[in-house]
């Protein structure tokens, strides 16, 4: 056992470092980062420039085939590139959905001409893509969507509403799942398209979150016209296409980074005086630190197990499915506990060391437990896919969509 690169990996890592050193600035500490904020056009511009540079050098999507600008490389090289890139002060996060989910779906369903038209601009950051799946009445149950697409000659007319769309307001294109037949059971009546987000009838409104941020949007479609040539997959087979997209999403979900963690909690505990001395000497505090450390290490090391499989060219086991189940409540609970250590001052947003950071964890954790699969859905997935337990009873399986009870 070791954490070392194979010779091939080491050579690649060296190459990447050399390139990054030549093209970007190294971070002075690992908390430093460009924050991907929806409302900063300057940052988007910089991100596009960086993406172009990266794509030109062949680092943007290493695993993609060469014809699409990739290197046909093993996923471990992609991981190594990302590990190294994380040490530099470069703006990230704007293209993950497009390149991680939308374009792979395009690759599965679009025509060669379309791929020729869209892949390269996406890879080089010229055009940004978003994914339009969730709806107000279709969260965990994505197939419950209601946005309608109705045939009109060679076109389709889209009406409805999407929600939780990241980056919708700066995106150029999107893939959208619609209901084209409400008279069949819900998974059967769906069809997927891609569309120009500047099409008439598309309206984007930001959603303000409990945290105060606005990283997501609502997108309203009013008589939006899409040519049938932008259909992805067959009519009525949209669910199959959506699964392609979502499978790619699952691979993309990782740990949130940059937030406060054990180190800061220990520092806080060292500096906080409780009745009987420094909080770090309190066995209750120590017990919590130990529990969270074991979780933090456990997740990091679990990731190493996954990377080992990738490095050996194997398919990783299901172990990475535990990450968000552990990380999200840890974030929420550690935030709350750290605030408790500060006493009444734990409510103050300023003037108290670490307060704002741990408050952000406490609030953000509540959202992280929901986004990208709730705690409950993820436990279902582990139980079903890892342990082979039966799926929930589906009462809506054979019933036409328009006969179902509505929320």
Partner 1 sequence: MNFDFSDDQKLLKEQVRKFLADKCPTKVVRRVLDGNETHAEDVWKGLVDLGVPALGIPEEYGGMGLSPLEVCVAAEEIGRAAAPVPFDSSVVLATEALKLAGSDAQKKKWLPELASGKAIGTMAIAEGAQPPKPRNIRTTFGGGRLNGRKLPVTDGEAATFAIVLANTGGSGDRAVSLVLVDLTQKAVAKKRIETIDPARKHAELTFSDASAELLGGEGEGWRLLERLYDAAAVYFAFAQVGGAEAAMWMARDYALQRQAFGRAIGSYQAIKHKLADCYVKLELARSNAYYGAMMLTEDGADLPLAAAAARIAATDAYDFAAKENIQTHGGIGFTWEADTQFHYRRSRLMALSLGGPMAWKDKLVTRLEQKNAA
- Which residues are marked as active site? 249
> CA-to-CA distance for 86 and 97, rounded, in angstroms?
18
Q: Using the rule CB under 8 A, which residue among 33, 199, 282, 374 binds a second copy?
A: 282
Question: Which partner from the list a second copy, partner 1, none does 223 bind, CB cut-off 5 to 8 Å by kind?
Answer: none
Residue 362: CB atoms within 10 Å: 20
- What are the structure tokens assigned to 45, written together? 């511009």
- Measuring CA to CA, how many Å separate 242 from each of 28, 109, 133, 138, 173? 41, 11, 8, 14, 16
Structural contact between residues 105 and 97, judged by C-beta atoms closer than 8 angstroms: no
Q: Using the rule CB under 8 A, which residue among 41, 112, 210, 313 binds partner 1?
A: 210
Of 230, 11, 18, the C-alpha closest to 115 is 230
Positions 346 through 405 that interact with a second copy (CB under 8 A): 393, 395
Q: Using the rule CB under 8 A, which residue among 102, 132, 289, 331 binds partner 1?
A: 289
**Residue 341 beta carbon to a second copy: minimum distance, rounded to whole angstroms:** 13
> CA-to-CA distance for 172 and 47, rounded, in angstroms?
15
Please give the distance of CA 18 from its chain centroid, rounded to a whole number.
29
- Measuring CA to CA, how many Å separate 144 from each of 43, 134, 137, 193? 35, 9, 7, 17
| 286 near a second copy, judged by CB under 8 A | yes
By beta-carbon proximity to a second copy, the closer residue of 77 and 285 is: 285
Beta strands in 99-201 (DSSP E): 129-132, 148-152, 155-166, 173-179, 190-196
**Residue 281 beta carbon to a second copy: minimum distance, rounded to whole angstroms:** 9
- Measuring CA to CA, how many Å separate 241 from each of 84, 176, 288? 33, 10, 44
| 11 near partner 1, judged by CB under 8 A | no
Question: Which partner from the list partner 1, a second copy, none does 22 bind, CB cut-off 5 to 8 Å by kind?
Answer: none
| 396 near partner 1, judged by CB under 8 A | yes
Segment interacting with partner 1 (CB under 8 A) among 52-60, 101-109, 222-230, 390-398: 390-398
Segment interacting with partner 1 (CB under 8 A) among 19-27, 94-102, 225-233, 344-352: 344-352
Per-residue binding string, partner 1, 296-335, x by CB under 8 A, is -xxx-xx-xx-xxx-xx------x--x--xx-----x---
Segment interacting with a second copy (CB under 8 A) among 15-23, 26-34, 233-241, 278-286: 278-286
Of 61, 23, 15, the C-alpha closest to 5 is 15
By beta-carbon proximity to a second copy, the closer residue of 66 and 281 is: 281
By beta-carbon proximity to a second copy, the closer residue of 28 and 283 is: 283
Residues forming the site for a second copy (CB under 8 A): 282-287, 393, 395
């Amino acid at each position: 056992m070791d954490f070392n690169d194979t010779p091939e990996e080491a050579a690649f890592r060296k190459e990447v470092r050399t390139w990054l050193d030549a093209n970007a600035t190294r971070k002075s500490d690992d908390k430093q980062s460009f924050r991907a904020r929806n409302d900063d056009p300057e940052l988007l511009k910089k991100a596009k420039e960086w993406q172009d540079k990266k794509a030109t050098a062949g680092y943007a999507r290493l695993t993609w085939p060469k014809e699409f600008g990739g290197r046909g490389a093993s996923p471990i090289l992609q991981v190594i590139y990302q590990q190294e890139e994380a040490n530099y002060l470069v703006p990230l996060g704007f293209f993950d959905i497009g390149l991680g989910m939308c374009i792979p779906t395009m690759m599965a369903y679009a025509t060669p001409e379309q791929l020729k038209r869209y892949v390269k601009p996406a890879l080089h950051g010229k055009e940004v893509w978003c994914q339009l799946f969730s709806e107000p009445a279709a969260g965990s149950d994505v197939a419950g969507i209601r946005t309608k697409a109705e045939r009109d000659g060679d076109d389709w007319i889209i009406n409805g509403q999407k929600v939780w769309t990241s980056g919708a307001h700066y995106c150029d294109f999107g893939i959208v799942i619609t209901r084209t037949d409400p008279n069949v059971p819900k998974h059967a009546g769906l069809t997927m398209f891609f569309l120009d987000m500047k099409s008439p009838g598309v309206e984007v409104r930001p959603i303000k979150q409990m945290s105060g941020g606005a990283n997501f949007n609502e997108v309203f479609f009013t008589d939006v016209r899409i040519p049938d040539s932008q259909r992805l997959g067959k009519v009525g087979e949209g669910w199959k296409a959506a699964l392609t997209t979502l499978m790619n999403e699952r691979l993309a979900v990782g740990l949130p980074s940059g937030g406060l963690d054990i180190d800061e909690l220990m520092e806080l505990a060292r500096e906080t005086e409780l009745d009987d001395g420094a909080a770090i000497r309190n066995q209750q505090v120590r017990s919590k630190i130990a529990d969270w450390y074991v979780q933090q290490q456990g997740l990091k090391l679990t990731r190493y197990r996954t990377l080992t499989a990738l490095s050996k060219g194997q398919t990783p086991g299901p172990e990475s499915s535990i990450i968000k189940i552990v990380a999200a409540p840890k974030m929420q609970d550690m935030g709350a506990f750290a605030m408790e250590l500060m006493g009444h001052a734990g409510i103050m947003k300023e003037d108290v060391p670490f307060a704002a950071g741990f408050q952000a964890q406490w609030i953000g954790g509540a959202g992280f437990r929901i986004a990208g699969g709730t705690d409950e859905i993820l436990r279902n997935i582990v139980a079903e896919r890892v342990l082979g337990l039966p799926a929930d009873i589906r009462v809506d399986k054979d019933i036409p969509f328009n006969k179902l009870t509505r929320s």
